[in-house]
Amino acid sequence: MINKTINRLLAICFIVALWSAPAIAQDIWNLEKCINHALQNNLDLQQGRLSIEQANISKKTALHGRYPSLNGSTNLALNFGRTIDPTNNEFITQSFFSNGFSLSSGVILYNAGRISNTIKQSEIDQESVSYSVKQSERDIALFVANSYLNVLFAEENLKNAVAQQSLNTKQYNQVESLINAGVRPANELLDLEAQLARGDQAIIAQENAVIISFLNLKQLLLLESDYQMILDRPSDVEILSNTDLITLDEIYTSALSNQPSIRAAELEMRSAEIGEKIAKAALYPSIGASGNIGTNYSNRALRFTPTGLEETPYLDQLDENISYGVGLGVNFPIYNNYQVKAGMERAKFSTMSSVINVEREKNKLKTDVQQALADAQAASKSYRAAKKSRDAQSAAYNNATKQYDLGAINSFDYVNSRALLDNAEISLIIAKYDYLFKAKVVDFYMGRPISLK
């Protein structure tokens, strides 16, 4: 029995040593480092940032719609049989080689504001995507904070289990000494042995909880499961919001102004409204201007010289055959197989859908805020009740210890008092971290940074 007790003590000392040993060749991560790492490596955020770049390309494309287009072309041709010589516009029946160059340009002068509205829409779309990515960043920060607190919670539970088992072992040794001295009956060790066994089981369970909570955090941070990391444990975490005093209207008003998802939905609605104007522009005429310049060469082009006819040189032909012109065109939409009307109706329904989406986002936010505030206030009450329960149970246990030392109660009652205190300690830890996270959720909706400082 003595050897068994010594082994337990050695095991507990080993665990405590691991707990308190300084980090060697291991990174210490605080919450800010975890959040920054997640924001840099999260695949959904990377995809969202690509969407911002795509929106930027669309914006540049819309802006360049104001500018004239410019296109050049050239051709080489070998013709056989009866055809038109491009240099003199006459029919010939001889084979010949020709070469031509041309430049053309066009610009939209008027299209009922389609270009201007497309530019506005693209700017709004880019801003909307940016706000959506910001919302994702805030959500991920909250997820990381929750996972981070889960690790701290599991570690504190393990620390508590180790401390309890150390006390259990000390009590066991004291009773064993009394039994050996003939002061206590031998059967009093049975309850204490059962308590030690439960303590060993609790330590194993909490060790597993630490491993699982670390694994969840590493998966969220896209770290390998065998990566060694230690979390910075703040001595005291500040809760910025007094959840017992804050009102629903106060938190909801704040959330409406700082939650990017609401701003993104409102921008999508504005974009849809401009989309209606773009679709309606197809009903009106559009005016465009164009210009072109070109020249040709043919090896059959001849000219008179003092010595007779000879082929006109290449460069001379390119200079002599230059042609150019400008034009102004007006396009009148008359009937387009219902496409314009359908486009207008689709744009209208898109606006209606975006208006509904804004209201849905606001309603969802209000529901989330109501739940978050109710949860935080309930958790605050539970935390205060758990502290009172722990204090009361601690006093009861101290009294039971004195009675047990005096022989006024048996070992079963003593062990039961200790179990009640252990349960109260665990309940307090659970209530503490539950309140801490739910208070941080309230801070989140109030627009405050997610931090454990």
Q: What is the pLDDT, as a whole number, of residue 19? A: 44
Q: What is the DSSP string of 158-194?
A: HHHHHHHHHHHHHHHHHHHHHHHTTSS-TTHHHHHHH
Give the DSSP per-residue string, 274-323: HHHHHHHGGGS-EEEEEEEEEEEEETT-EEEETTEEEEPPHHHHHHHT-E
- In this model, does residue 47 exceed pLDDT 80? yes
Q: What percent of the chain has pLDDT over 70?
A: 92
Instruction: Taking each helix axis as running N to C, give the angle between helix 411-445 and helix 114-180, from 0 to 180 degrees, rounded to the nearest 10.
Output: 170
Question: How many CA atoms, within 13 angstroms, populate the side-chain half-sphere of residue 417?
Answer: 19
Which residues have a Cβ under 8 Å from the Cβ of 424 and sit 6 or more positions away? 386, 389, 390, 392, 393, 394
Q: What is the pLDDT of residue 10?
A: 44
What is the Cα–Cα distance from 446 to 376, expressed in whole angstroms? 13
pTM of the full predicted structure? 0.80
Mean pLDDT of the chain: 87
Please check whether residue 119 is in contact with residue 277, taking contact to mean a CB–CB distance below 8 angstroms.
no
Over the stretch 8-43, which tens digit does the pLDDT of each residue have?
544 444 444 444 444 444 678 998 999 999 999 999
CA distance 169 to 406: 20
pLDDT in tens, 63-122: 999 999 999 999 998 888 788 877 777 887 878 888 999 999 999 999 999 999 999 999
Which residue type occupies 132? S
Which residue pairs, CB below 8 angstroms and at least 24 apart, start in 50-58?
A: 51/129, 51/132, 51/133, 52/126, 52/129, 52/130, 52/133, 55/122, 55/125, 55/126, 55/129, 56/126, 58/122, 58/125, 58/126
Distance CA 257, CA 267 (A): 14
Q: Give residue 63's pLDDT.
A: 93
User: Does the pLDDT at position 419 exceed 90?
Assistant: no
Q: Is the pLDDT of residue 365 over 70?
A: yes
Report DSSP letters for 352-394, one per residue: HHHHHHHHHHHHHHHHHHHHHHHHHHHHHHHHHHHHHHHHHHH
Q: Which stretches of 170-262 are assigned E, i.e. beta strand?
A: 229-231
Dihedral sign, Cα of residue 398, residue 402, residue 407, residue 409 = negative
